[in-house]
Amino acid sequence: MSDQSTKNDAYVRKFSFRPFTGLRRGRIFRMWSISWQWWIHEWDRSRAIKVLIGFQIFILFLTNIFVLTFKDIQLQADPTLTTGQILEDTLIPLVRGIVSFQTRIRGESAGHGDEFGTSFSIGGTSLFILLLAVLVGSGLIADDITNKTNEIYYSKLEKYEYIMGKFGAFFIFGNVMITLPYVLEFFLLYIGLGNMDFLAVLPVLVHVILFTELVNITYAAIILAFSSLTGRRLYAGLTTFMLLFLANMIVPSLAFAQGGEVGLQLLTDVLTLLLVSSYLLDGESIIRLDLLGREHTLNLANGIGIEGWMIIGSLGLFIFLGISIVILQVYRRHSA
């Protein structure tokens, strides 16, 4: 063992250090180093990430074949339908399905119909994405507490840089695992379906990017908050997963128990807040709710009422709470 060999130490010391250039990179580079290092490390380490991304690409490939095969039939059946609409009707439910297990489990789409049978395709991946996000992300801060590496981070960086670096780390994960496949899917469908003006379908792409980024931010805030609360990756992961999973299950279960129909999505469903907010992003204003058998209609863009702001507020509150917990933990508990 090297720590038993002083002879070897004396030998290597003769070489000493190559001269240091004295050039130091800026603060953003340092934060980025944390993010990138974590992502590369997890990529090298985790077989599940590679399997899932392979699964995602396979599913997207299947979806494309399905959509392209039935494209002509759909266009003949409905002469008013355009390829742009097919693209939108395919992609938007897919993207919204990321955050909702119930939609996928029940085989419902998020409001654009299920004519093309796309909901089956990505259904399983929403659960996998959450599982993997929790599995990988819950160690982001918890592992540093367990391994006591946070002291090394804090001796080199500001604490906010550490937090940003960790958020960035999850953000890379989210972008590679969530955003990128759907953006790729957009372009595959755009090329495959053909006959459409890019500018006309650009809002769909914007929707895909904004919605998936919202998912990334919310996941990051919730997962990092739990990760900062404990030194055990397992506890952090389990708690986060249970919270998110139960949040998706409670209201539909209640509705089912009382014989009510679960209509679209429910505001009390934590991640459904994201789904609802997506209506704001693409300008679709009406949301029908069938909560415990009582139907409600929300018009988010008619300038009347505060429903839209409530949803943005709820969503913001979750992100704010998550980030606040992380900041408090890092600045208070971890620095005592």
Partner 1 sequence: MSSDIITTDQLSKFYGSILGIHEVSIKVPPGGVGFLGPNGAGKTTLIRTLLGIIRPTKGTAHVLGYNIKSEINQVRDRIGYIPEFNTSFIPDMTAMKFVAFCGRMNGLANAESKQRASDSLYYVGLGEERYRKLGTFSLGMKQKVKLASALVHDPDIIIADEPTNGLDPTGRNQMLDLIKNLQIDQNKHVILSSHLLRDVEQTTDYAIVFSEGEILAQGKIKELTSGQRTSISVKVKFNEDLFIRNLKDKGYEVWDEGGFIEVKISSDTEKAIFNAAYTAGTEIRYFGSRSNTLEDVFVDLFQNKEGIK
Return left, alpha or beta for 262; rule: phi > 0 is left, psi -120 to 50 is alpha, else beta: beta
Between residues 96 and 233, which has the closer beta carbon with respect to partner 1?
233
Place of tokens 């946070």: 150
Between residues 3 and 72, which has the closer beta carbon with respect to partner 1?
3
Q: What are phi and psi of 303, to 5 degrees?
A: 80, 0
CB of 222 to partner 1, least distance (A): 23
CA gap 96, 115 in Å, rounded? 16
5 lies in the binding site for partner 1 (CB under 8 A): yes
Between residues 15 and 198, which has the closer beta carbon with respect to partner 1?
15
296 lies in the binding site for partner 1 (CB under 8 A): no
CB of 148 to partner 1, least distance (A): 4
**Taking CB under 8 A as the rule, which mask of x and - marks residues 20-49 in contact with partner 1?**
xxxxxxxx-xx--xx--x---x---x----
Give the H or E element holding residue 324: helix 307-331
15 lies in the binding site for partner 1 (CB under 8 A): yes
Structure tokens at 146: 């367990």
CB of 158 to partner 1, least distance (A): 7
Structure tokens at 220: 């990051």
Between residues 161 and 185, which has the closer beta carbon with respect to partner 1?
161
74 residue type, one letter: Q
User: Rg of the Cα trace of the chain?
Assistant: 24
CB of 230 to partner 1, least distance (A): 16
For residue 287, the cross-strand partners are: 298
CA gap 4, 157 in Å, rounded? 34
Residue of 69, 268, 302, 335 interacting with partner 1 (CB under 8 A): 335
332 lies in the binding site for partner 1 (CB under 8 A): no
Between residues 143 and 213, which has the closer beta carbon with respect to partner 1?
143
Q: How many contiguous H segments (helices) and E segments (strands) does the chain have? A: 14, 2
199 lies in the binding site for partner 1 (CB under 8 A): no
Question: Footprint of partner 1 on residues 131-160 (CB under 8 A)?
Answer: 143, 146-149, 151-158
Alpha helices per DSSP H over 78-197: 83-96, 101-106, 119-137, 139-147, 150-154, 159-174, 180-193
Q: Which positions lie near partner 1, rule CB under 8 A?
A: 1-6, 8-9, 12-13, 15-18, 20-27, 29-30, 33-34, 37, 41, 45, 143, 146-149, 151-158, 335-336
